[in-house]
């Protein structure tokens, strides 16, 4: 995965359920579609289009001021909760300096819990919106 802000690229593994959802989306698309995620006009989904999709999904559950970077943090929280060690998490997120990862993990628990709940809700809304689950 290439990143926009200068972090190192990394491989992002997909779970079986994610692969099945992507295959279902492909089956539902017109034959010959070149992209998995497309705009209503059939063009590849742009960064701005993704932002709008995320915003609509968040609004559908009453959230405002949601942005794509929240998904990155939600992923980090989930991986930590799943027991992933700091070095592996840093590599997954593309952090060149492990101190960046450690800084995020050092937030006070109450702050992190509130942020994690918000980010998880946004992630789940987007998944339901895009994958129709």
Q: What is the pLDDT of residues 15-33, one digit of tens each?
A: 888 899 889 988 988 888 8
Name the β-bridge partners of 78.
none
Gap between the Cα atoms of 53 and 45, Å rounded? 10
pTM of the entire structure? 0.61
pLDDT at 64: 80
Q: What is the pLDDT of residues 29-45, one digit of tens each?
A: 888 888 888 887 878 88
CB distance 126 to 54 below 8 Å: yes
CA 125 to chain CA centroid, nearest Å: 11
Query: SS3 of 38, please?
Result: strand
CB distance 67 to 48 below 8 Å: no
């Amino acid at each position: 995965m290439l990143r926009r802000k200068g972090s190192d690229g990394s491989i992002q593994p997909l779970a079986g359920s994610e692969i099945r959802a992507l295959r279902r989306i492909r089956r539902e698309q017109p034959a010959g579609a070149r992209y998995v995620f497309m705009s209503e006009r059939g063009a590849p989904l742009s960064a701005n289009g993704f932002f709008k999709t995320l915003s609509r999904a968040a609004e559908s559950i009453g959230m405002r001021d949601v942005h794509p970077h929240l998904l990155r943090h939600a992923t980090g929280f989930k991986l930590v909760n799943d027991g992933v060690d700091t070095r592996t998490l840093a590599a997954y997120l593309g952090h060149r300096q492990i101190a960046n990862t450690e800084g995020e993990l050092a937030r006070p628990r109450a702050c992190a819990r509130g942020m994690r709940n918000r980010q998880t809700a946004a992630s789940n809304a987007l998944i339901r919106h895009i994958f129709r689950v």
